[in-house]
Amino acid sequence: MLLEGKKLLITGVLDRKSIAFAIADEAQKAGAEIVLTSFGRVANITRMMAKRLPQAADVLELDATKQEDAEAAGEELKRRWGRLDGWVHSIAFAPDDALGGNFLQTPWESAATAYRVSAFSLKTIAAGLLPAMQERGGSIVALDFDNSVMAWPSYDWMGVSKAALAAVVRYLARDLGRYRIRVNAVASGPVRTIAAKGVPGFDQVEETWARRAPLGWDTRDPRPVGKSVCALLSDYLPMTTGEVLHVDGGHHASGSELISTRK
């Protein structure tokens, strides 16, 4: 199987419709042994979701803004498994006043929160888990939403943070390559998760995506993203790092709707 024998950590599992849950589900089906992470009030939700996987998974405490939490998780995994083969960054958050067309009025404190949780945390966790990965190498995969060529309606400082996340991926790929650790991102099309429904304007993006994507797109199905993340976690892309892989039905490469609506 694709991930037979792999030891993986997956962040961000909060409900069965989430991309992170689809990744965990596909990883177990592909032969991986996994642990999940959570913290604070939502930890009980993650524990419930962990029991709904094909094999129940443990949940470790990890606040993405605290490197000491990541270090403690890495120490526990070294004790348990002797190593960590890879992990998934599926973490994002922006305060309400950093979204919804409020870009010019967003205070620094809210923009900083969005950046720290959604982008800088990738570096925070990578540094904390490095001792568990540096001996054998492995793969880190972050979840992105394409911000390379346009500003999405109402996405505002989350969009800026996701663009920063892609930059963090490249710089981590540079610095972790010496340990044979690959760092990549998957730019997913819109998936109707609890988090996505909290983004103003999501319905507008959702309505047009499937029509414009050459392969179509089902916003209710996170499995294509889950499978693609598992491919990056596997040994089948051993020389791919610093990359953003689009899993969006081809939407990013298509201008067909823009052309067809021009008079």
**Annotation-wise, does 173 bind a ligand?**
no
Residue 19 known to bind ligand: yes
The reply to whether 162 sits in an annotated binding site is yes
Beta bridge partners of 60: 37
194 annotated binding-site participant:
yes
Tokens of 84: 């960590």
Q: Is 259 annotated as a binding residue?
A: no
Question: Is residue 106 a contact partner of residue 98, using CB atoms and an 8 Å limit?
Answer: yes
Residue 154 marked as a ligand binder: no
Distance CA 12, CA 236 (A): 25
Which residue, 88, 220, 201, is CA-closest to 151? Answer: 201
Q: Is 160 annotated as a binding residue?
A: no
Is 193 annotated as ligand-binding? Answer: yes
Q: How far apart are CA 154 and CA 119, in angstroms?
A: 19
Give the single-character DSSP code of 34: E
22 belongs to an annotated ligand binding site: no
DSSP-H helix ranges across the chain: 19-29, 43-50, 67-81, 108-115, 121-133, 156-176, 194-197, 202-212, 223-233, 256-260
Check the annotation: does 262 bind a ligand. Answer: no
Give every CB contact of residue 86 below 8 A, 6+ residues apart in sequence. 6, 8, 9, 133, 138, 139, 140, 141, 233
Q: Computed from CA positions of residues 74, 35, 223, 6, in that sequence, does the dihedral angle turn out positive or negative?
A: positive
100 is in an annotated binding site: no
Task: Specify binding-site residues.
Answer: 12, 18-19, 91, 94, 162, 191-195
Task: Specify binding-site residues for NAD(+).
Answer: 12, 18-19, 91, 162, 191-195
Task: Specify binding-site residues for substrate.
Answer: 94
